[in-house]
A and B are shown apart, each in its own frame.
Chain A
């Protein structure tokens, strides 16, 4: 009887501990990836279900982090979208504001973003996938341990907190034990796997372990997008003035 009580106590406390530690682990990931600013040149390959590949390139700059940030994405290739720029202002407590500058019409346009499922410029990333995840937007539970490509990982489930909207009802996240970085993320709608994101080519850049290649697979479309981060720098001297609608116009 006593051993049964002990087992029950262990089961309850260990799940609580696992629950706490899941959040702690994600908190540690967020803490270790904290940077005041970031800049990289993105090389993007979209591979459709028939194996056809199209490429895009952009320059990404961000000021602030994790839920309170401003970011610009300026396309440099292909030629027809060169100069198109997007400004995203993210808030911790509400949906982001977004403006797009289109050189062909010489005008910035506020973008309607009621639906964050929308694919980003025809890639397999949705607008929501490109937003930074803030730890407080989800509740976490430990689901065990599993190796990803030979590396030992924690397997954690994240569900949106009540009141926090997401296209995904849950995500399963694999976090590398060695350096507290994301290894893989699977995003589900109910029980259906919608997208799988793989974090590859890990490098320590200015003390921050960063995946230099992100591979997003859209299971519903059987297509995938590979994003390579080149010329990556953290904690650059960027100012608020560079993240305004006026700055978007000035290029």
Chain B
């Protein structure tokens, strides 16, 4: 069986018209998973049985004339999002057999919307990485070229959508972990404004940067999924009581009157010429659609990487302290209490996780705290203000999602600095807390290029409008990989 080539909104129409059942759709996805999973390895757990039960429930709802745009739609969920009764591994040995007794807030929302979960998606361990090579379980392969990485950390989610294992997916984004793999796999990936989506049940990496968002085949689907998951949650004190609009309402095919800034610092030296050319063409297309483009400058951009690699590891060093083998997850039985706890962490965490815990522990240590953490927070404020100032002039900013196309598996695995550089265009957005979406913007030698559209706090509808207009004027999103 070949893939069911439907977007979420297309499938919804067919389900509503009873031309297709959720069970059929789900079975098609499960069949697709059976076929291609050995090649792409996007999923840590395939939840076929519960998926079919959910599909039957969805079909019942639809038969009763109930249900919404996500009812009966098969989705993949990044394995960092807690799913009640279904193991949530964070692609770590530490949680390889951890089954949460609770659902993340987004899962409650998706379940209430009648969505179907077909599997839990692979990722870099604890969302730390840009290629899924840091998964302690296995590496995911890019469906556009199986020799290459799918990006990360939400690589499994991006591949599941790109390769047709699911119609959409949820990922999490701390420094680019939704957008960079979306760009590498030629799908749409949105990081909402910090505080837009509840983090309750999202296993924390860096609490002040993490945000859950959708990965989809097109912008309309992205708006539909955001509609379902956005909104304040009393259990997440950092979620904001901002009204959630219907994000599909802003999707218009032109950009007349839109002011778009092009920050020159994002068109960096290390950028591949192919990516540069694709971006040039994309910017031209935006102008054709009626947008007024202007080069601008965000001079503090260069500090983002340094700021990120102090703040994120600092928070991670505390967030990951709970994995000590006492309560749940992997546990080493040592001769003494301290030996048990130390060996649990030594054996349970992979090298990148340990590296970041050490970085963060160092940055927070007495005598270093002011020089590292406090200073990084100050620069963070400057970066945020710089974005605020830019959005007084522009409705959106446009940059490449990543300076390169997907790299070869293993190419950067032993060079953490080179790996960190793949997120140079996406990190500043998390630091500022603003929303950004990556959409397909072309190919270089058959490898995808992503374009990042950045917006003002809580103005997801504006960036989705830019994304939609561009998408409607191009064909990139319709190209699918041959796996």
A and B found bound together: no
Chain B residues engaging chain A, CB cutoff 8 angstroms: none
